[in-house]
Structure 1
Amino acid sequence: MLSRLLSGAGLLALASAASVAPAHADITLVEGSETSPSLNLFGRLQYDFAHYDSDTRGSDEGVEMRRFRLGLDGEAGAVFYKLEGDFSQGQARLADAFVGLEAGPVTLRAGQFKTPNSLEELTSSGSVLFMERGQTNTLFGLGRRVGVMAEHSGEGYALQGGVFGNVVKDDLSTALDGSETSLAARAVWQPVRGEAGTLHLAAHVRATDYEDGKRFSTKPASREFGPIARLDYRAGSALGEADDSRLAGIEALWLSGRFLAQGEIMRLDIDGPAGDPSITSGYGVLGFMLTDDARGYKASRGALGGVEPNRPVTEGGIGAWQASLRAEFTDFDTAPAGELSTYAAGLSWWPTEATRVMFEAGSSTLDGALGDTDLDFVQARLQLDW
C-alpha cells in the first residue's frame, strides 16, 4: 500500500525537498521603509496519501494535494495586510484576506479570517498535531468568515471579539448576503509562562443567526472517507429549520519541555427544530518530542506554533520527531445521529523548520440512529512551507 505513495513522482519530489529545504522564511519582494510598505511572498504545499477499510463503503485509497497555498503579506507602519489563496483540488478558493491596524493597545482586523473560536482551529494547518483538525471543528463550522474583529493582549492574557458574516465563495456578495451572521468572542488566560512550561486556559462563544437554516456534517480523521454524519436543518428539511445557534467551548493546553497535553470541549445548541437539539463534542491530545526539541506557542494569539529543529538535516542532524495520540468524541444528544468516536496515533518528522512528514493510523466508530459505521485508516503527508 505504501509503495503506491512512494511511486508518485510528485510525492517523491516533495520528499526530496523535505530533506534539503532551508528553514521557513517569507520571500521578501519589497523591503519596507518608513515611507513604503513591505511585501512578502509565502506558501504551503501538502500532499496526502490515505487508505481506509469500512464496513459500509468497503476499502479505498487515494492521493490528493490537500493544500497549495500562495499568499502575500506585509506592513506599512501600524497597518498590516495579508492575501492568501488555496489552489488545490482543482479550484481556487480565498483563504485569509484582511487588513489590520495596530491602534495602541488594540489590534483591529477587517476582511476574511478565522473567527476567535477553538485553540486547534486558530493553530495553523501546518502546525496542528494531526493531519486534520478534529471532527468538532468541521461539525460546528469553525473557520474563516468575513468580518471585523478587535484583539488585545497583555502579560498572561489575550482577548478577541468580532462580528462576522459568511465565507467568501464566488464573490464577496455571498459572504454578506445575510444567510449567516455571527458574534464571536474568546478569552485566553496564561497563568503559567516560563521555564517550567506554559499553561493555556481559554473560553470562547459564538452566536449565529441563519436565514435559511443550516446543514451540519462532519468527517472522520480520514478525509478520503468523506462525511460520516449529517444533520440537515435547512429550510424545508424534515428535521425542521434552524433559526439560530449558540456555541460555547473551553480549551486547555500544557506545554513543558518535550511534553504537550491539549484538549477542548464544545457544545452547540440549535433553536428552531423540534426539541431544540444540542451537540457536545471534544477531544484530547498527548504529544511527546522524541528528540530534544519543543513546540512553539504564540501568546498574543493563544495558539500553538510550529517546531524548529535544534539539529536539522541540513546541519547533519536528524531533525525533530514527535509522537502523538488523540481521542475524539461527539454526542449528538437530542439530534438524530448517535455518537461518534475516533482514536488515532501519529508520528511527525521535521527535517527542517520548513518541511514536515507525517504518518497516522486510527479508527472511527459511529453508533448512529440510522445505522452504524466502523472504519480503520492509515495516512501520510508530505509538507513544504516557504
Structure 2
Amino acid sequence: MMKQVLASTVLAALASTTSLTPAWADDAGGWAFDGVPAWSNPQTGDSFTFRGRIYLDAADIDFEQAGVTTSFDDSEIRTARLGVTGRFHNVNYVAEFDLIDEAIVADDVYLTFHGEGFDVLLGHMKTPNSLEEQTSSRYITFMERGAATDLFGLDRRVGVAVAHHGDAYTVKAGIYGGRPGDLSDSLELDDSSALAARVTYLPVHTDALLVHLGASLRQMDYGNAGTRVAVRPDAHLTDRIVTADFRPASALGEADSSTLLGLEAALVSGPFHAHAEYMTMEVDGPASSPRFDSAFVNLGYFITGETRSYSTSSGTFSRTRPARPVSEGGYGALELAARYDYSDLNEVAAGELTTWTLGMNWYVEDHFRVMANYVTGEASVPGAAATDVSGPQIRVQWDF
C-alpha cells in the first residue's frame, strides 16, 4: 500500500512539471491552489498550507579492501514527509512528519512566537549548528550533507530557542532536551540534553557578491546512553565506514558529554558559489577525552546563469529557482559542483576518511530537481588495509 501511495506521489510530481499554473486562487484570501491547497485571511494574517517532500534515491557504491569488493547497489525512499505550516494569532507553526518503514518520525514540529526584535521557538527542531545542517535538504548542493553533520550527530531535539536577526547578522541560542523515537510507539524522550548557539555575519552583501561567516557551539549531555561517533562516505546507502563507540561497556569508555565547535564560511558571486566548514568535538568521559575533527569544502557553478539563493533572516541558503523552467519552454537550471571532505578519528585509532564528490543538479522546476553524484575516496584505519570507495548515486526530488 505504501509503495502505491508513493508511486502516485511521484507521478503527481512529474505531472506538476508540465502544468504549474494555479488552478484557482483568490487574492482577497480564502482557499487557493498553487500546487497544494492553502488558506489565508489577509485581515488577521492567519494562514494554513500543506507541505511535504519525497526523495527517491539509488546508488551503486563499491568498498574495495585488500582486493575484496563489497557492493552497495540499492535504492530507497530516503524521505517521505508530510505536514502543515502557517500562522495563527501572530504565532507561526510548522508540523512535519516523516513516514518511512511504517514509522512516524517527527521532523520540524514547533511554534514561533514573535516579540519586539526577537522570536521564541518552542517544540521539536534542529539545534542551531552549521550552515550545512541549518540549510534545508531541499536546497543543499549534494545528496548528502558534509560528513561532519553526520559524524557529530547534529539533530533535532525538543527545546526552546531565542532568535534575532538584522540586515547582516543572525543570533540564535537554545536549550534542548531529548529526542523522541517512533511516535506510533511512544512519546517518551531519551534522557540526553544540549545547549547550543550560532551566530552569522555578512561582511559583504551586494548584488554582485555575498560573503557569509559563522560560528556555532554545542554542549551535549548524553545521559546514560553514551554516543557513537561514526560516518558514511557521503553516501547513505552504504555502511558507516569509520566509527568509534562510546556507549556503555565499550572498550573506549562511555561518553558522558561532549563539546562541539563549528566554523563556517560561504561566498556567492553570480553563478559561482563556495562553502566551507570545520568542526571539532571533544568527548568527555573516556580517560583520554579524545577530540575529533572534520572539514569540507564545496564549490558550485550554475552553467545556466542562476545564483544560489540566501536568506538573511536565518543565515542559510534557500531555494534557487530556474530562470527558465521546463514548464515555460526552457531547460531548467543546471549546476555543476565538487566537494572535498575529510574526517579524522585517529585519537582513538579509529582512522580517517577522505572523500571527493562530483555533482550535477538539474532544477527542472522550482520544486522539482534531479541530482547525480559520483563519490570516490579512501578510509584508512590503523592496523587494517585501506578501503577504497567509489560509485554513482542519483536522486529524484519533489517538494511542495
TM-score (norm 1): 0.92
Instruction: Determine the structure 2 residue equivalent to 1:27.
Output: 36
Q: Which residue of 2 aligns with 1:49?
A: 58
1:136 aligned residue: 148
| Paired residues for 1:158-237 under 5 Å | 158-171=170-183, 174-175=188-189, 177=190, 179-212=191-224, 213-237=226-250
- What letter is aligned with 1:263? A
Unaligned runs of 5+ residues in structure 1 are 1-7
Selected match of 2:314 from 301, 306, 324: 301
Tell whether 2:71 aligns with 1:37.
no
How far is 1:173 from its partner? 5.2
**Letter in structure 1 aligned against 2:57:** D
Specify the code of the residue in structure 2 equivalent to 1:113.
M
The Cα of 1:385 is off from its aligned counterpart by 1.3
1:110 and 2:108 aligned: no
Shift in alpha-carbon separation, 1:21–1:226, aligned structure 2, 3 A: farther
Map 1:358-369 onto structure 2 (within 5 A). 358-369=371-382
2:256/2:285 contact within 8 Å kept: yes
Residue 335 of structure 1 corresponds to which residue in structure 2?
A: 348
Conserved 8 A contact 2:164-2:172:
yes
Residue identity matched to 1:51: D
User: How many residues are aligned here?
Assistant: 377
1:125 aligned to which of 137, 149, 155: 137
Q: How far does residue 26 in structure 1 lie from its aligned partner after superposition?
A: 6.9
* SS of match in other structure, 1:75: strand
Q: What amino acid does structure 2 have at the position aligned with 1:22?
A: L
Single out whichever of 238-247 and 8-17 deviates more from structure 2.
8-17
Aligned with residue 323 of structure 2, among 285, 290, 310: 310
5+ long unaligned stretches in structure 2 = 1-5, 23-33
Q: Any idea what SS the aligned residue of 1:136 has?
A: helix
Paired with 1:39 and 1:78, the residues of 2 have a C-alpha distance of: 13
Give percent identity, aligned residues only. 35
Deviation at 1:158, TM superposition (A): 0.5
Alpha-carbon contact 1:26-1:41 (below 8 Å) kept: no
- Amino acid in the other structure paired with 1:126: R
Q: Which amino acid aligns with 1:20?
A: T
Q: Is the 8 A contact 2:46 2:90 kept in 1?
A: no
Report the secondary structure of 1:227's partner residue.
Answer: coil
- Asked if 2 retains the 8 angstrom alpha-carbon contact of 1:108 and 1:150, the reply is yes
1:384 pairs with 2:384 = no
Q: Which amino acid aligns with 2:347?
A: T
CA contact (8 A) 1:199 1:252 kept: yes
Match of 2:3 in 1: none
**1:245 alignment partner in structure 2:** 258
* Counterpart amino acid of residue 134 in structure 2: L
For residues 385 and 214 of structure 1, do their structure 2 counterparts lie closer, same or farther at Cα, with a shift above 3 Å needed?
same
Distance 1:272 1:105 in 2: 40
1:261 aligns with one of 247, 256, 274: 274
2:66 maps to 1:68: no
- Relative to structure 1, the CA distance from residue 22 to residue 234 in structure 2 (aligned partners, 3 Å threshold; closer, same or farther) is same
Q: CA deviation at 1:10?
A: 7.7
Instruction: Report the CA distance between 1:19 and its aligned residue.
Output: 4.0
Q: Specify the alignment match of 1:5 in structure 2.
A: none
After superposing the two structures, state which structure 1 stretch, 350-359 or 82-91, moved more: 82-91
TM-score by length of 2: 0.89
Q: Distance in 2 between matches of 1:329 and 1:245?
A: 20
Task: Output the CA distance in 1 between the equivalents of 2:171 and 2:317.
Answer: 16
Give, in whole Å, the separation in 2 of the partners of 1:376 and 1:15.
Answer: 31
Q: Is the 8 A contact 1:244 1:270 kept in 2?
A: yes
Letter in 1 for 2:312: A
Deviations 1:248-291 (A, max 9, x none): 01000000110001000000001111211110001000000010
